[in-house]
């Protein structure tokens, strides 16, 4: 399978704790579907979020918000569950409702995608750069990440002019910051530390006459 370059709209990242919980449910969801049913399970989840929640904000607010309680949400799922998809998917919604986790559905979908990629020997790599990278630069990053990760990298690119130059590469929780912005920040920190050391040495000379 050829390597892919996926460009996505960057959104605010969820809290690490939320992602960890979402991953648990994502793995359980795929596990219940089994290897042969994972494609159908993903299709059901995507269809529910895209065609039901996103297109019917009032229903989304009821199901994932706090205006009604857990029991009311379970009744809502039971009442219209057959329209959502399979009984397996409806049971999944019931589990989320009982544990107060329906609000995590978008995060669970993201973790389902990541888990499927992992099972297929792929790894998500986020690349931020001050300007759009050339095909040659992306090919170099892809080759480097393939060797480091030992899997096929899926590259996600993002242009961030504040970086000035260079790139920032994120793989999971690991960040490789080679941006000019980071280098300038480090240089400022070193200069500040040097100035503070000079000031302290000057104070020491004035406080000890023999040092003059």
pLDDT tens digit at each of 212 positions of the chain: 333 333 332 334 455 588 899 999 999 999 998 878 889 999 999 999 999 999 999 999 999 999 999 999 999 999 888 787 899 999 999 999 999 999 999 999 999 988 888 888 888 888 888 888 899 988 888 888 888 878 888 888 989 888 887 788 888 767 777 665 655 566 566 666 666 665 566 666 666 555 54
pTM: 0.61
DSSP secondary structure letter of residue 178: -
**Bridge partners for 122 per DSSP:** 152
The helix (H) or strand (E) run that includes residue 207 is helix 180-207
d(CA 181, CA 163): 5
d(CA 181, CA 167): 10
Give the count of beta carbons closer than 10 Å to the beta carbon of residue 38.
18
* Packed helices 16-47 and 87-98: angle between N→C axes, nearest 10 degrees: 150
Least Cα distance to 149 among 122, 128, 169 occurs for 122
What's the Rg (C-alpha) of the chain?
A: 25
CATH 1.10.520 maps onto the chain at 16-117
- Dihedral through CA 117, CA 122, CA 128, CA 131, nearest 10? -110
d(CA 155, CA 4): 6
**Residue 10: per-residue pLDDT:** 35
DSSP secondary structure letter of residue 100: T
Q: 4 phi and psi, to 5 degrees?
A: -120, 150
CATH 3.30.1330 maps onto the chain at 121-212
- The CATH architecture of the domain made up of 16-117 is Orthogonal Bundle (1.10)
Integer angstrom CA distances of residue 56 from 17, 28, 119, 199? 28, 27, 33, 64
**Residue 202: per-residue pLDDT:** 61
Cβ–Cβ < 8 Å for 124, 118: no
| Class (C level, CATH) for 121-212 | alpha beta
**Residue 13: per-residue pLDDT:** 46
**How open is the CA angle 146-165-157, to the nearest 5 degrees?**
45
d(CA 95, CA 92): 5
């Amino acid at each position: 399978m050829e390597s892919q370059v996926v460009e996505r709209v960057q959104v605010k990242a969820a809290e690490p704790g939320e992602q960890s919980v979402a991953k648990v449910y994502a793995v359980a969801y795929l596990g219940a579907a089994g290897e042969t049913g994972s494609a159908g399970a993903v299709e059901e989840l995507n269809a529910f979020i895209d065609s039901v929640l996103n297109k019917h904000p009032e229903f989304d607010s009821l199901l994932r918000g706090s205006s009604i309680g857990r029991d009311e949400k379970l009744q809502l799922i039971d009442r219209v569950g057959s329209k959502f998809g399979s009984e397996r998917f409806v049971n999944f919604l019931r589990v989320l409702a009982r544990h107060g986790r329906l609000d995590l559905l978008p995060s669970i979908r993201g973790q389902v995608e990541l888990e499927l990629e992992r099972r297929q020997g792929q790894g998500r790599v986020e690349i931020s750069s001050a300007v759009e990278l050339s095909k040659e630069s992306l090919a170099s990053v892809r080759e480097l990440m393939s060797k480091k990760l030992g899997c096929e990298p899926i590259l996600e690119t993002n242009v961030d002019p504040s970086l000035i130059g260079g790139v920032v590469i994120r793989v999971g929780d690991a960040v490789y910051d080679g941006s000019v912005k980071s280098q300038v920040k480090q240089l400022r920190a070193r200069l500040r530390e040097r100035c503070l050391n000079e000031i302290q040495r000057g104070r020491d000379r004035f406080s000890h006459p023999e040092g003059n």
